[in-house]
Amino acid sequence: MQRIVLAGLFGLIFGTGIAISGMINPAKVLNFFDIAGNWDPSLLLVMGSALTVAAIGFRFVLRREQPLLDQQFHLPTKRKLDVPLIGGSAVFGIGWGIAGFCPGGAIPALGLGDVSAWAFVAAMIAGILTARTLRRFAQQRVTQTA
Amino acid sequence: MTEFTPIPALIGGSLIGLSAVLLMAFHGRIAGMTGILTGVLPPAAKDWGWRAAFLLGAIVAPILVPILSGYEVPFASPVPVIWVMVGGLLAGIGVFFASGCTSGHGVCGIARLSGRSISATATFMVAAVATVFVIRHVLGGF
């Protein structure tokens, strides 16, 4: 129960940060990417401050044996660069550049009730489920041929 | 046209970072929207409860901000809804294969100096800048 309530609180902090910073606002995000036009550098400061706080905080947190409410830290184990990472990131970047929403910006934007946020999240979920099906299909073919 | 807003940017960014530190300290989890969201989509992960709570908190936040602080959250989408959906579909496919997005790779991953996250972030940032350049300055679109 404690885990659920605290996760809700941390989500609230995350969403407040997204809303105040401007990451929630596609017009601002797109102007950040538009370096040849009316460039708005605000999001550089958003990324910079988020990174600074996270980097300092993680240094202390990850020094511990385990998190406060779990047996272990759940960190990614992959180290090498691969095609899904870079290809997927490129496709994500194109989608972000078209819509002005990223997942972390769009989920809090749902709360504003604007149709564009709901349209983005619905399409994004369809994309995630499609990709998951594609990968499962590819993995089955690999195991069948092996 | 949007104005340069350094103070809200710094406050908001710090809160995003704080949320990531707290979720790591208590739950031992990366505060990445892709991973948290994917875990609640059917078939949901066994630990979907905290994920759903995090998402709910994130959705409620922009409703509470103006009520509690009086700060009206600026929002405008200049993109036609059909293109927003095209972008959403591409973003969903992309973040799934990349195992992360701006929050997971761009904030949490780079903060851990992960080579994969640094490469992913550089890739999606360059792709987004290139896409906006083509749409606005080559095609003359939104």
pLDDT number for residue A8: 98
A145 vs B58, higher pLDDT: B58
Residue A14, chain B, CB below 8 Å: the answer is yes
The interface residues of chain A toward chain B in range 49-108, judged by CB-CB distance below 8 A, are 49-55, 57-58, 61-62, 66-70, 72-76, 78-81, 84-108
**Residues A87 and B123 sit within 8 Å (Cβ to Cβ):** no
CB-based contact, A132 to chain B, within 8 Å:
yes
Give pLDDT, residue A138.
Answer: 84
**Closest Cα in chain B to A7:** B54
Give the mean model confidence (pLDDT) for residues A114-139: 95
- Average pLDDT per consecutive 10 residues, chain B (142 residues; last block may be shorter): 92 98 98 97 93 98 96 96 98 98 97 97 98 96 88
Coil, helix or strand at residue B63: helix
* CB-based contacts of B26, cutoff 8 Å, min separation 6: A3, A6, A10, A67, A68, A69, A70
- Sign, Cα dihedral of B46, A139, B123, A77: positive
Nearest to A21 by CA among A117, A119, A124, A102: A102
pLDDT at B90: 98
Residue-averaged pLDDT of chain A: 95
ipTM over 0.85: yes
Q: How far apart are CA A137 and CA A54, in angstroms?
A: 37
What pLDDT does A144 receive? Answer: 74
Note whether B40 contacts A: Cβ–Cβ < 8 A.
Answer: no
Q: Which pLDDT score, from 0 to 100, does residue A146 have? A: 59
Residues 112-141, chain B: which have Cβ within 8 Å of A?
112, 114-116, 119-121, 123-133, 135-137
Search chain B and give the residue with CA nearest A136.
B97
Residue A100 φ/ψ region, left for φ over 0, alpha for ψ in the -120 to 50 degree band, beta for the rest: left
Domain of A8 in residue numbering reads as 2-145
Give the number of domains in chain A: 1
Q: What pLDDT digit, counting tens, does each position of A84-125 carry?
A: 999 999 999 999 999 999 999 999 999 999 999 999 999 999
Instruction: Give chain B's end-to-end CA distance (angstroms, integer).
Output: 12
**H helix intervals, B40-114:** 48-69, 81-98, 110-111
User: Whose CA is closest to A42, among B11, B130, B3, B77?
Assistant: B3
pLDDT tens readout for residues A39-77: 999 999 999 999 999 999 999 999 999 999 999 999 999
- Provide the token pair at A70: 């779990």
- Model confidence at A142, pLDDT cuts 50, 70, 90, reads confident
Is the CB of B123 less than 8 angstroms away from the CB of A93? yes
Distance to chain B for A146, nearest Cα, Å:
23
